[in-house]
Copies of this chain bind each other. A is one copy, B any other.
Amino acid sequence: MIRFALFGAGFIGKVHAKNIHNHPNAKLTHVYDVNVEAAQQLSAQVGATVVANPDDIFASADVDAVAICSSTNTHSDLLAAAIRANKPIFCEKPIDLNIERVKAVATLLKGKDLPVVMGFSRRFDADYAEAQRRYRAGEIGKLEILQLTARGPKPPAISYVKVSGGQLRDQTIHYFDLAAWIAGEAPTEVYTSGACLVDPAIGEAGDIDTALVMMKLPSGALVQIDNSRRAAYGYDERIEIFASEGMLEAGRKQLSDVRKYVNGRVESAAMHAGWFERIEVSFGTFIDAFVRSLHGEAITMPTFWDGLRAQQMAEAAYQSLQTNQPVKVDYWLP
């Protein structure tokens, strides 16, 4: 039984809390949030203890692992404390918006044999996981073009845009990680085109809402990502792995298999209402994989080092966006 302490009782914290609570081999025992009321409410639902001081969690012998789901600017300190306390970590992405702080955590973690898992939940989407596994098993030969699409459904609140690190660090980062994870190699060069087409306020906040990213892989294969903060028709994700002997596609998903045939057209089901509805199930799969890996199963998890890598792609992508030049990515490692 893995006893979890949770930092952050907001939206995503509650998602993970529920999955930990429902897991047969895990339970949520401690909850911390700067908003004490939120911590209390969540704790009451799952039978956990509210913790007033984060340090108590790191000092407790009754905590087997920590889940860091608090706001991004708290991640570095909590990661550092958990690493020092030698507690296995589940941390929401991104590590930190400041790459220097990310590097400091990396330096601290270096050489330690501690599970630090980053919340790249899309790796646990059943379709993506199947496509990746089958590609890596050699079913379709060598990668030539990898295409990743993610759109919508609605632009975030401007207040969120301002603290999100921007579209490339907040939305595209999932596809930076997926690209390297699927290809099995990290891009060496990034070129980005961006635009503010959805909401002028996003542009005024210094961000973009529509992004194309092109990347080169060491093998010579090419990657293209297209991202939008809005899709009028619901949430839309798809992947194509185009390779020398075939293609694997994880196609877009509709909500049902109901179709209506009327004069002039056939109507099929809507897309998901949002990114969360689309990948909700994968959060449970993720926690299950984490718990099983802590119990010793050999499961490849997205690690801190994957997070560091994805974040460096995002930095390069922003540099490309600002300079309108392709940017080489020299992956820093401590």
Chain A residues packing against B (C-beta within 8 Å) = 22, 126-127, 130-131, 134, 139-142, 144-145, 147, 149, 151, 191, 193, 195-198, 210, 212, 214, 216, 220-222, 224, 226, 228, 230-234, 236, 242-254, 256-271, 324-326
Verify B268–A266 contact, CB threshold 8 A. yes
Bound: A240/B228 CA distance, A = 14
In the complex, the answer to whether B212 meets A193 with C-beta atoms within 8 Å is no
Given the interface pairs A127-B258, A216-B193, A220-B197, the reply to whether A147 lies near B245 with Cβ below 8 Å is no
How far in angstroms is the closest Cβ of chain B from A88?
A: 27
Question: In the complex, are the beta carbons of B262 and A140 less than 8 A apart?
Answer: yes
**Given A233-B266, A268-B265, A195-B212 contact (CB < 8 Å):** no
In the bound complex, residues from chain B placing their C-beta under 8 Å from that of A142 are 197
Min CB gap A8→B, angstroms: 23
Q: Across the interface, name the chain B residue whose C-beta is closest to A143.
A: B197
Query: How many copies of this chain sit in the oligomeric assembly?
Result: 4
**Closest B residue to A217 using CB positions:** B195
Please determine whether B251 and A263 come into contact, CB atoms closer than 8 angstroms.
Answer: no
Q: B269 contacts A144, CB within 8 Å?
A: no
A254–B265 CA distance with the chains assembled, in angstroms: 9
A147 to B225, CA, bound (A): 11
A-B contact sample (14 more), CB < 8 A, given A246-B262, A249-B260? A130-B258, A131-B258, A197-B220, A197-B244, A210-B222, A226-B242, A231-B261, A232-B246, A232-B263, A233-B266, A251-B257, A252-B257, A261-B271, A263-B270
Q: Give Cα A301 to B268, complex, Å.
A: 27
Residues of B within 8 A of A324 (CB): 326
Q: Is the CB of A256 within 8 A of B127?
A: yes
A266 touches B262 (CB 8 A): no
A269 to B253, CA, bound (A): 13
Q: Does the CB pair B258–A246 fall under 8 Å?
A: no
B268 lies within 8 A of A268 (CB): yes
- Give the chain B neighbours of A127 by CB distance below 8 A: 256-258
CB pairs A–B below 8 angstroms (12 shown): A197-B220, A198-B244, A226-B242, A233-B247, A233-B262, A233-B266, A248-B258, A248-B259, A249-B259, A265-B268, A267-B267, A325-B325
Query: Chain B contacts of A252 at CB under 8 A?
Result: 257
* CB neighbours of A198 from chain B (8 A): 144, 244
- In the complex, the chain B residue whose C-beta lies closest to that of A220 is B195
B258 and A232 form a contact (CB under 8 A): no
Q: Which residues of B contact A210 (CB under 8 A)?
A: 144-145, 222
